[in-house]
Structure 1
């Protein structure tokens, strides 16, 4: 992937950082779009350790103007876009009957509106370049089953599958692929509260055939695979990485 420019939204921690690191290890230059500047600076330093160029761009993915400016800066500094990963996401745990409309809208604004705005900007860039490319939409296995206290998160991640499929169909004529990555239970900052619940952790681990949660680093290789420009026939696919949770 040497010479390829990749963007990872929310790429400064957790699965997003693992995705960015997997592509950096494969030789891609990587731009990390995120709101936390200090965390992004640390992530970029780590990515540069793999001998590639890396860039931190402050961006609220739900802000249309910031998204456009982030793309312009990225291609100006790193070169034409080769892969775009829509990973940024948040959650808000609450019983459904107690979920405020404000929380519902806040989660969908980042997870779904943000994915729409960023992948639209990426698609525009790919079409203008005429060079093809890859889009990866990071959803979740929660799109396959119910998730108590996570109505907004589950709805947003399920919506991402529809978005990803549409991009795969519509952008194929431009040689742009789009695949969806569905992580299972993974040890990240976002899942830390769930991990502190011993009963929940025990139940989800028992249902996972490999009998453990994933570590973020386990998404490095699959990220490089999904970004590989040689895989021109692989599109519209849901790649599930969950230790067998959804089939057990």
Structure 2
């Protein structure tokens, strides 16, 4: 039997990169997926080949009401949520002194507040329906290491890892697990600023023991492990998936 057979899964931030890979892997492993993103048209185009196995919904994670409405649509369609992957994220690249309040808030609103809104809505649905499910948040190695000009991103992802811990403690009595995955530099849109800059690219690669960037499918695999029964006694952790970058 496949790990996600007959499971109702939610992937937030599903249109590109790691989230897109999560959706494809979940379908391969037997799940029906509600794919949430700012770009439903992109999702419909990408996922149309899967038919009714994917249900695409518009969702702006920075807006609490929109998140709650999207989760309500999932529940109206499927009646429950067994597992959710909160993956939406953006990055800002400015120094501390140059970052405006608006720019800071935008990153925090999407990465940290958005994760909170998704977790709250999904976990409430699980508690109310007595679903012993799982939530997997996408943090980052930026929660543990910092570099110039990514302060808002690092702060937001550090918050995601801490949110994951307190959610895990509060949900454990209900049989619900909450974990996070922390990808390193993966081949996604969010890392193009590093990968397409020759000097920065060479520097990053020299600090990765495995000598390459991660693939979105690899981060998705780590997340799917945490969301599955293979990780049935694991909760509250942030699983680092970075090719050894944080070993230094």
Does the alignment reach a TM-score above 0.5? yes
2:30 counterpart residue number: 27
Instruction: Please list, as runs of the form range in 1=range in 2, the aligned pairs for 1:202-213 lying within 5 A after superposition.
Output: 202-213=202-213
CA shift digits 1:119-178 (9 cap, x unpaired): 000110010110210011100001111121111111000001110000111100011001
- Between stretches 118-127 and 225-234, larger displacement belongs to 225-234
SS in 2 for 1:191: helix
1:12 maps onto 2:40 in alignment: no
Gaps of 5+ in 1: none
CA shift digits 1:13-66 (9 cap, x unpaired): 0111112222221111111111112222133225x17xx711110011121221
Is the 8 Å Cα contact of residues 75 and 81 (structure 2) preserved in structure 1?
Answer: yes
Pick closer, same or farther for the CA change 1:230–1:197 going to 2, 3 Å.
closer
Distance 2:149 2:239 in 1: 25
Distance 1:234 1:214 in 2: 23
Is the 8 Å Cα contact of residues 137 and 164 (structure 2) preserved in structure 1?
Answer: yes
TM-score relative to the length of structure 1: 0.94
Spell out structure 1 runs of 4+ moving beyond 3 A: none
- Between stretches 31-40 and 164-173, larger displacement belongs to 31-40
Distance 1:76 1:25 in 2: 24
Report the Cα offset of residue 211 of structure 1: 0.3
SS in 2 for 1:190: helix
1:170 counterpart residue number: 170
TM-score relative to the length of structure 2: 0.94
SS in 1 for 2:189: coil
Is the 8 Å Cα contact of residues 26 and 224 (structure 1) preserved in structure 2?
Answer: no
Instruction: Please list, as runs of the form range in 1=range in 2, the aligned pairs for 1:49-68 lying within 5 A after superposition.
Output: 53-68=53-68
1:241 maps onto 2:241 in alignment: yes
1:93 counterpart residue number: 93
Distance 1:204 1:240 in 2: 17
Report the Cα offset of residue 80 of structure 1: 1.3
Q: How many residues align?
A: 245
SS in 2 for 1:179: strand
Distance 1:79 1:40 in 2: 22
CA RMSD of aligned residues (A): 1.4
1:134 counterpart residue number: 134
1:214 counterpart residue number: 214
SS in 2 for 1:91: coil
Distance 2:229 2:125 in 1: 16
- Between stretches 93-102 and 225-234, larger displacement belongs to 225-234
SS in 2 for 1:57: strand
2:146 counterpart residue number: 146
